[in-house]
Amino acid sequence: MSGSPLSRFEMVIGLEVHAQLRTESKLFSSAKVSFGDAPNHNVEPVCLALPGVLPVLNRRAVECAILAGLATHCTVHTRSVFARKHYFYPDLPKGYQISQFELPIATGGWIDIQVGADAEAVTKRIGLTRIHMEEDAGKSIHDDAVAGSDATLVDLNRAGVPLVEIVSEPDLRSPAEAGAYLRTLRSILRYIDVSDADMEKGNFRCDANVSLRPIGREEFGTRTELKNLNSFRFVEAAILAEARRQASILADGGEIQQATMAYDAATDRTRVLRLKEDAHDYRYFPDPDLIPLEIGAGEIEEFRRALPELADEKCLRFQAQYGLSEYDALQLSEDRALGDYFEAAVENHGAAKTVANWMLRDVLKALGELEVEIGDSKLTPEAFARLLELVDSGTITAKSGQGLVSDLVRAGGDPTALVSERGLEAVSDAGVLAAAVDEVLAEYPENIEKFRAGETKVLNFLMGQVMRRTQGKADPNAVRELLAERLEG
């Protein structure tokens, strides 16, 4: 949509992410954190907000929050306070959520994101305003078929599950940046084992604040809040749709009203859920049932030292240590397990660039097709290294090798054995190759003329034919030589 009103404005985007923490039990009770169970199968008196219950803080949740703060370069505070945030809703059993308000556990951090692709990629630093801990609400199930059209079902299994809320500064300027931010944040949280951060599973939720300002203006415009965005794709699409909506209004001389918006993927439009004439009066005050959280500065330092190498450091190290391109390094360092696999394979094989190429091209493809993570791959780094060696040594062609990856990832096994079993040894016997070449040339005589007339690219076509005839086992270099010989006559 060129020449659209949007082109006159700059987008200003801030994201609020809620990530569920990887703990066994809930934030303030020992009820189990688990998903997919039947309603109210993981609840205790605390989760039900029965009269007389009291909250007790989960140590592991605090550790996760500290790690999240450190990994995003925040200041982790030695003193933070839990506050009650009041509103009435059936999935909020106490009538208030225990959160943090004036004194959150971490503030003032940043993460670097890569914007743009490949050679044009630039690094942009996105500020984080704060990270705080809070408990999740339960679930309201609006299912007319089950409950009737005028009733809602309430399941409190999720009530009390620990969350961190991560609020970015309004530093993002495009849907793509928003997507990059989310992916980077997800990677960080997974790296430090703090959250599974899986948007599809609902343990990584994102609200987006969007406003526009005329290009060149310093002041921010009025912003709206997009909620219930269920995937990275939707986040980006919704931001764009909302930006277009606002641009249209502003271009007509109208004003943006503060509102909470929902995105409808079917129409690719946003709509107002409710206007925010009054900000919610949440009546925050420090929770008198909980003691302010005090963490020693020494303890915070210990956590900092225990942080694993994070993606951005790893990315730089991969470039320096293994000579990888920035793009390749980025891909391989984004996921901790993938990076570990890469390094284990290099340890066994030696040639980092080869390992990187094969991982990025073939292993990732296989993982994607089989819908598994690198951790589930049956192809061990050692076996992978062996496979590469078989190719390097010419025992099999690259093409044959590529063909084996998927099976090895899925079912495991020894590449050497597999090669024997399937008779994949490369064909380098001159006689066999010559025969294949002659057969192909006999089938496509017109190409000989073409080649001699200057269309050298027919060589590739003919090569392809020879490879097919030899089930990909022919050594491509030998084939190329033979063909060239024959064609040049």
Query: Given the rule CB under 8 A, which residues bind other proteins?
Result: 23-25, 30-33, 38-45, 47-62, 81, 84, 86-90, 93-96, 141-142, 146-147, 149-156, 274, 279-286, 288-294
Question: Least CB distance from residue 61 to other proteins, whole Å?
Answer: 7
**Structure tokens that stand for 381 in this block:** 């780094």
Question: Least CB distance from residue 40 to other proteins, whole Å?
Answer: 5
303 in Cβ contact with 74 (< 8 Å): no
**Can you say whether residue 148 is alpha, beta or left, with left for phi > 0 and alpha for psi between -120 and 50 degrees?**
left
Question: Least CB distance from residue 69 to other proteins, whole Å?
Answer: 17
Question: Least CB distance from residue 41 to other proteins, whole Å?
Answer: 5
**Structure tokens that stand for 211 in this block:** 């406003």
- CA distance linking residue 88 with residue 17, whole number of Å: 22
Closest CB to other proteins among residues 86, 365? 86
Question: Least CB distance from residue 299 to other proteins, whole Å?
Answer: 12
For tokens 């190409």, the residue is: 447
Question: Least CB distance from residue 53 to other proteins, whole Å?
Answer: 7
Termini Cα distance of the chain: 55
- CA distance linking residue 249 with residue 254, whole number of Å: 5
Closest CB to other proteins among residues 52, 454? 52
Contacts of 425 (CB under 8 A, 6+ apart): 395, 396, 419, 473
Question: Least CB distance from residue 270 to other proteins, whole Å?
Answer: 18
What is the SS3 assignment for 474? strand
Would the CA dihedral through 228, 232, 234, 235 be positive or negative?
A: positive
Question: Least CB distance from residue 266 to other proteins, whole Å?
Answer: 20
Question: Least CB distance from residue 63 to other proteins, whole Å?
Answer: 9
Query: What's the full length of the chain, in residues?
Result: 489
**Structure tokens that stand for 337 in this block:** 């397990």
Closest CB to other proteins among residues 50, 432? 50
- CA distance linking residue 133 with residue 398, whole number of Å: 51
How would DSSP label each residue in 433-449?
HHHHHHHHHHH-HHHHH
224 in Cβ contact with 18 (< 8 Å): no
Closest CB to other proteins among residues 81, 115? 81
Closest CB to other proteins among residues 192, 482? 192
- CA distance linking residue 221 with residue 122, whole number of Å: 26
What is the SS3 assignment for 50? coil
* Amino acid of residue 459: L
Question: Least CB distance from residue 157 to other proteins, whole Å?
Answer: 9
Closest CB to other proteins among residues 285, 444? 285
Closest CB to other proteins among residues 281, 446? 281
Contacts of 95 (CB under 8 A, 6+ apart): 49, 86, 87, 88
Closest CB to other proteins among residues 149, 267? 149
Smallest CA-to-CA distance from 94 within 158, 153, 30, 46 is with 46
Closest CB to other proteins among residues 1, 279? 279
Closest CB to other proteins among residues 94, 173? 94
- What φ, ψ does residue 121 adopt, rounded to 5°? -65, 130
What is the SS3 assignment for 228? strand
